[in-house]
Amino acid sequence: MRGAAAARAAAARVLERVAVDAAFADLALEAELAGRKLPPRDSALATELVFGTLRWQRYLDWILAPHAKRRLASLDARVLAILRMTAYQLVFLERVPSFAAVNDAVTLAPRTPGVKAFVNAVLRSFARRGAREREPAPPRDATEALATRCSFPTWLAARWVARYGPEDAETLMRAMNERPPLTLRANTLRTTREALVARLAAEEGLAARPTRWAPEGLVVGPGGAPGAWRAFAEGLFAVQDEASMLVARLLAPAPGATSADVCAAPGTKTTHLAQLMEDRGRVLAFDPQPARLARITEAAARLGIECIEPLAGTVEALAPGFREACDGVLVDAPCSNLGVLRRNPDVKWRREPAELAASAERQRRILDAAATMVKPGGRLVYATCSLEPEENDGVVAPFLAAHPEFRRDPPAEFPLPLDPDGTLRCLPHRHGTDGFTAVRLRRAITAP
């Protein structure tokens, strides 16, 4: 199997694994592409099919259902993955010939008697309808209708409607369904942003432009896998979203300082802290999993960074050994990841509302432990890639109430405008970034 057919086969397999094995889409896709060794163009198509289908999964089910004589939820996982993936191509990918997409879908369908005929009948019926005819009557409930059109779980759509209003919530959901840009952080220890633009243009034929908010960021046009570029091997950049870059800048570590990243793996923000410190001083990097910790060491070596000290263990276990030892501590807390759905669309189908409270409890324990590492007069940044109040304001407010020695410490100037209370909120539909929330606190020099 070659070309687009091989890409479709790879995508169908990944979508099936996500559905049956609860595999993470990005990791499953990486493994599938590594095993098949597809050329760049076909790898790009497989990637588009996987993430596009997951982004629009609920919407695709809605417009497919009238063409199937069986309930979609009752179908074999592979059959449903093939139907969704093919519908995605017919609706969203204008350059894909419909006959090729349908033919490949029938080929990929299981050989179980009647299955190929079923897939063929559903997709040919679907393909005959024009774009305006594909949408059936929407659900009567306004929020459910909005969630269906925007392909989001109703519970999450309802939260965002309550918080932002219907129009803003719809804009946010549609922004979360967009293909994210490829964003790089120039490694200013080895190059400049301007020199990296020239290098990428000369060697890879890539156009790049500065990011709007982060002074070391670049948005790069399509052009294959960054890991294959010479500039990557030479450590001239790291792949990082612009919102993520702003988190380290919020901590603003000084050269020669002692900093800590207590939830460090895979090390993207850790290496950014070291970069801002000009690789002078000390950056403690905690992670409980040695394999993930090894990724930090690998990233630091590639970027030419020597000041990072990886330490295996949780912050609760390691913090007592560094009591009041740090000028700055970053808590990039494990969270629901509901702010990065552009990059991880499968997450919205995994999460349940009850998980937010469980995440918040874990985040409070991490923040409490990390705070003990901050020197008097030092800074503490709490950040999540989530927009949900339980994981952000609901963690910071009780922390401040229980720790009067800390107060909010927003910078006087910052690239992206902060909330009136000093909170950094990066919103995809307003800032063109991933969704991040962060706040900077400072410990008093003397006890209150």
pLDDT in tens, 15-69: 999 999 999 999 999 999 989 888 888 999 999 999 999 999 999 999 999 999 8
- Take residue 329 and report the two structure tokens written for it: 């501590």
| Burial classification of residue 297, based on how many CB atoms lie within 10 Å of its CB (0-12 exposed, 13-18 middle, 19 or more buried) | middle
pLDDT at 410: 97
Listed range (126-130, 273-277, 335-339, 426-430) with the worst mean pLDDT: 126-130
| Reported pTM | 0.94
Under the banding of pLDDT at 50, 70 and 90, the label for residue 432 is very high
Residue 94 has pLDDT above 90, yes or no: no
Under the banding of pLDDT at 50, 70 and 90, the label for residue 136 is confident
Helix (H) or strand (E) holding 380: strand 374-384
pLDDT in tens, 149-195: 999 999 999 999 999 999 999 999 999 999 999 999 999 999 999 99
- Tell me how far apart the terminal alpha carbons of the chain are, to the nearest angstrom: 70
Single-letter amino acid code for the residue at 194? E
How large a percentage of the chain has pLDDT more than 90?
Answer: 90
Q: How far is the C-alpha of 175 from the C-alpha of 169, rounded, in Å? A: 10
Superfamily of domain 182-239: Sun protein; domain 3 (3.30.70.1170)
pLDDT at 168: 98
Provide the pairing of β-strand 282-287 with 258-261.
Answer: parallel
Per CATH, is 3-137 categorized as 2.60.40.790? no
pLDDT at 225: 84
Considering only CA atoms, which of 402, 405, 262, 259 is closest in space to residue 331? 262
Crossing angle for the helix pair 25-36 and 3-21, nearest 10 degrees?
A: 140
Under the banding of pLDDT at 50, 70 and 90, the label for residue 395 is very high
Residue 1 has pLDDT above 60, yes or no: no
Domain 242-443 class, CATH top level: alpha beta
Catalytic residues: 385
pLDDT in tens, 185-234: 999 999 999 999 999 999 999 999 999 999 999 999 877 789 989 999 99
Under the banding of pLDDT at 50, 70 and 90, the label for residue 79 is very high
